Homo-oligomer: A and B are copies of this chain.
Amino acid sequence: MSISKERILEYKKNFGLRVRELRESKGFSQLDLASEINVEKTSISRIENGRTNVTLVTAVKLANALGVELKNLFEF
């Protein structure tokens, strides 16, 4: 048995909340963060709201811009 869709959705949401938490703690707007890593502000909004299944590469960029270790983005 694999993981339920509900559980998966929770992971997406928690990841998004973690990003938002770190972004706000740095005093960045979504646009600031987006510009920092050359992604669209639309993407940041989608990610923070748990609407996307982020990729490793995007997570690496986010961690870099937020000044944390990659693994910290997955601590929730």
B3 near A56 (CB under 8 angstroms)? no
Query: Judging by beta carbons under 8 Å apart, are B71 and A8 in contact?
Result: no
A70-B11 CB under 8 A given contacts A53-B57, A56-B53: yes
Give the CA-CA distance A57 to B4 in the complex, in Å. Answer: 11
Q: B57 near A8 (CB under 8 angstroms)?
A: yes
Spell out A's residues near B (CB within 8 Å). Answer: 2-3, 7-8, 11-12, 15, 36-38, 53-57, 59-61, 64, 70-75
Interface pair B2/A38, CB less than 8 Å apart:
yes
Instruction: Tell which of B11, B36, B74 touches A74, judged by Cβ atoms closer than 8 Å.
Output: B74
Q: Which residues of B contact A64 (CB under 8 A)?
A: 2-3
